Structure 1
Amino acid sequence: MKLVVILSRVPFPVEKGDKLRAYHQLRCLSENHELHLICLNDTPLHPDAVFELKKYCKTVNIFDLNPFGLFFNLVWAFITGRPIQIGYFHRFGVKKQIEELIEELEPDHLYCQLSRTAEYGCDIPISKTIDYQDVFSIGLKRRLNELPFWKRIFFRIEYERMAQYEETIYHLFDHHTIISKADRDLLPFYEKDAVVLIPNGVDFNFFVPDKEAAKRYDLVFTGNMAYPPNIMAVEYLVKKILPLVWEKRPSTNLLIAGTTPHSRVRILSESRILVTGWLKDIRPAYTASRIFIAPMQIGTGLQNKLLEAMAMQLPCITSILANESLQAKADIDVLVADTPLIYAQHIIFLLNNEEKAAKLAKNGYHFVKSNYDWEAATAILSHLIEE
């Protein structure tokens, strides 16, 4: 089949979750379909992006979002009752160009990733699929209590509009996908059971354990460090959990590795905490560490960082919230916690029991190997598209 894929970002480099999902889906879909990629773009383009994406796509079409039209589109979103983030990614001129391009390509199917791209595909008169990925509205709702009053008003309005928008676009697409059952259960409409589960995966040829690597850090956290759930997670780790660990084990150190660290993250750096910023290759952060920890407090969707760490055979500790999407067996594949004390106890236990830590790491590896494979997951998507 000839597929047009619309993305809200250029999926290279793959330093963010939506880019990672898009990149590997393109890679796998290209084996059986002719792909034509359309990307929105609001950042400087990586010099290798088009070359890398043309390995899988017959054409790569990038539409820059002119910042001069941003104010008008935000006003348009506000007046029409759409979420602000939909307005941020929408440009009337770009929509017209995309519609003309799709008419010229005459594809068999249209695949839109994230609700941000729905405005560009909803009027195209062909079979089409929307990938919710996770539930944006719930992500907004979970941030409400952590915000100052003036921001809370804005986020509540945005949450309510996003929930309505997620329901609206359901009726504009033929097929619908999402990463996990936990997220599907949170969708704000009755037809949610018709949304198909397409999990993420791990590139096991890339994320390979290195048993010989020197362990320089006790704990590691990875991710996009400008993303609010990640910012909150490392603040919780440093301010609530580590002081309890340091009471028993003062030398315990932490590596925070990931792109564009927010000022709230950079300020956490001290003698026992290293904040790296962007790493071209994230694997050395895993191999240099004894334990991966992801104490996620808010957010939705599957934590790719957990899949990567498990694939690298690190023992992992995470929150009950994050494990709802992961669906690992607590105390067998992963350790879970819901209070700083329990997190601290898990950390100390693993650091003091290498044999138990190795067993947990091995179980976690077999869990992701059995459940999170890009080829198997994308085969479900391919079958759905072909219906």
Structure 2
Amino acid sequence: MNDKPILFMVLSRFPYPLEKGDKLRAFHQIKSLSEHFRIVLCCMTEIAVEEKAFQEVNRYCHEIHTFQLTKAGLLWQAALTFLTNKPFQVAYFYRYRHFRKIRQLLQQHKPNHIFCQLLRMAEYVKDYHLCPKTIDYMDALSKGMERRIATEPWYKSWFFSVEFKRLVRYERAIFDYFEHKVIISKQDLQFIHHPKRNDIVVIPNGVDESFFEFPATEKKYDLLFTGNFSYPPNIEGACYLIHEILPLLKKRGFNVSVLLSGAAPHSRVLSLASDRVFVSGWVDDIRESYAQSRIFVAPMFIGTGLQNKLLEAMAMGLPCITTSLANNALGATDGENILLAEQTEVFVEKIVVFLTQKGMFDEIGNKGQLFVKHNYSWSYQNEKLVKLLV
């Protein structure tokens, strides 16, 4: 209806298909917010948006504007970044010509509220003061950079060190440009270095209700790990699972099958494939991967934010094993609705428990599903966002 207020949203990626966490979060937010707002959506994109994807999002929007990011522009912006203190990822997504167009759209639509996903898009709207603005930090990106300093080779670690320091400053500086701030987890909130960080509203990710209702399927795989496999924490997790955990399981007499399911697998992930390890790449319906698997294992030792993969696996009733780092944002209880491990031997021991003790397998899986259903549905989480923006 035309009497709805206008919400102007700026995103660093087109929010479909849902192979990345920021796209998944944005898509479900758009679905919920469209009931209360006319949404004018502005998205950066590196590739042409397919018609099917455009139409999937367009049904929830008043207007959609996409802005192409070219490699030539990236090189120029990267060069300019060395002369400033802005993070490289802010420069990556910024183009002055796109800034001018977005400013024209703001003047044209005169929105009632601006919603900016991720600090990398803040430069486009931070100086517009004719309506309230909300920024979704999502994760403490600086903390993610800091964790990668120790895991990257020396010839890359200098970059992550520089980016870490710039992100700390930028996360603090951008805070005061926005009337409202949201973030995915309390854990990430604590890593935003601003004296008023407790004003940030924690709004976790959710799970689509359809994950709770998927029909039972024949199990083909013992272990499953999912994610965008071009993302370094997921690459490292997959390699750890295959190179460290599987050999010890085999020594114990468990020659298990593993499915690595997710978009854009890196060459390191593709090289893991064998007669017992299956690398699927992108699948149209990720629920099929969960339904075909018995146990979800997520050895996440770097990265930030709430892991959608854990929410989805638990919603599908899979018993899950992960690290305390990944569980900190989730808030599940070790031994009740999830199992936690930090060392390879502990991962192996807990996988063996699930493989051999059906009672424990069923109990953790069922309680994990109830935990997610009660705490992490998208409808429940997006109610908080609606109250903040309306």
* Residue identity matched to 1:92: Y
Q: Which residue of 1 aligns with 2:371?
A: 367
Secondary structure, aligned partner of 1:331: coil
Q: Which residue of 1 aligns with 2:165?
A: 160
CA distance in 1, matches of 2:266, 2:79: 28
Shift of 1:31: 1.0
Shift of 1:263: 0.5
Q: Which residue of 1 aligns with 2:150?
A: 145
> Does 2:288 match 1:284?
yes
* Residue identity matched to 2:337: D
Secondary structure, aligned partner of 2:83: helix
Q: Which residue of 2 aligns with 1:33?
A: 37
Runs of 4+ in 1 over 4 A off after TM superposition: none
CA distance in 2, matches of 1:64, 1:73: 14
What RMSD, in angstroms, separates the aligned Cα atoms of the two structures? 1.1
CA distance in 1, matches of 2:380, 2:159: 40
* Residue identity matched to 1:288: Q
2:200 to 180, 195, 204: 195
* Residue identity matched to 1:379: E
- Deviation digits for residues 244-276 of structure 1 (CA, Å, limit 9, x no counterpart): 111113421110000000011111111111111
Q: Which residue of 2 aligns with 1:256?
A: 260
1:218 to 211, 222, 225: 222
Shift of 1:207: 4.7
- Deviation digits for residues 129-158 of structure 1 (CA, Å, limit 9, x no counterpart): 000000111001001111111211111011
- Deviation digits for residues 286-327 of structure 1 (CA, Å, limit 9, x no counterpart): 111100111101000000001101111011111110000000
Q: Which residue of 2 aligns with 1:245?
A: 249
CA distance in 2, matches of 1:78, 1:281: 42
For this pair of structures, how many residues does the alignment match? 385
**The 10-residue stretch of structure 1 (297-306 or 59-68) with the greater mean CA deviation from structure 2:** 59-68
2:89 to 73, 76, 85: 85
CA distance in 2, matches of 1:258, 1:205: 19
**The 10-residue stretch of structure 1 (202-211 or 79-88) with the greater mean CA deviation from structure 2:** 202-211
Secondary structure, aligned partner of 1:302: coil
Shift of 1:14: 0.8
Q: Unpaired segments of 5 or more residues in structure 1? A: none
CA distance in 2, matches of 1:8, 1:207: 30
**The 10-residue stretch of structure 1 (199-208 or 253-262) with the greater mean CA deviation from structure 2:** 199-208
CA distance in 2, matches of 1:4, 1:43: 22
1:379 to 362, 375, 383: 383
CA distance in 1, matches of 2:243, 2:259: 15
CA distance in 2, matches of 1:343, 1:267: 22
* Cα 1:329–1:250 shift into 2, 3 Å: closer
Secondary structure, aligned partner of 1:190: coil
**The 10-residue stretch of structure 1 (263-272 or 246-255) with the greater mean CA deviation from structure 2:** 246-255
> Does 2:167 match 1:172?
no
Shift of 1:206: 4.3
- Contact 1:208-1:311 at 8 Å conserved across structures: no
> Does 2:235 match 1:235?
no
CA distance in 2, matches of 1:172, 1:230: 33
Secondary structure, aligned partner of 2:223: strand
CA distance in 1, matches of 2:357, 2:211: 28
Shift of 1:54: 1.5
CA distance in 2, matches of 1:217, 1:232: 21
CA distance in 1, matches of 2:352, 2:298: 15
Q: Which residue of 1 aligns with 2:25?
A: 21
Q: Unpaired segments of 5 or more residues in structure 2? A: none
1:208 to 213, 234, 256: 213
CA distance in 2, matches of 1:39, 1:207: 31
* Residue identity matched to 2:141: F
> Does 2:301 match 1:272?
no
> Does 2:193 match 1:181?
no
CA distance in 2, matches of 1:93, 1:260: 30
Secondary structure, aligned partner of 2:8: strand
2:327 to 314, 323, 327: 323
- Contact 2:222-2:294 at 8 Å conserved across structures: yes
* Residue identity matched to 2:256: T
Q: Which residue of 2 aligns with 1:336?
A: 340
1:7 to 8, 11, 14: 11
CA distance in 2, matches of 1:317, 1:192: 31
TM-score normalised according to structure 1 size: 0.98
- Contact 2:224-2:296 at 8 Å conserved across structures: yes
CA distance in 1, matches of 2:215, 2:223: 16
Shift of 1:66: 2.7
- Contact 1:210-1:312 at 8 Å conserved across structures: no
CA distance in 2, matches of 1:199, 1:165: 22
**The 10-residue stretch of structure 1 (225-234 or 36-45) with the greater mean CA deviation from structure 2:** 36-45
CA distance in 2, matches of 1:194, 1:220: 38
**The 10-residue stretch of structure 1 (23-32 or 249-258) with the greater mean CA deviation from structure 2:** 249-258
CA distance in 1, matches of 2:255, 2:210: 34
Q: Which residue of 2 aligns with 1:121?
A: 125
- Contact 2:126-2:177 at 8 Å conserved across structures: yes
CA distance in 1, matches of 2:10, 2:276: 43
Shift of 1:190: 2.1
Secondary structure, aligned partner of 2:9: strand
- Over the matched positions of the two proteins, sequence identity in percent amounts to 42
Shift of 1:76: 2.1
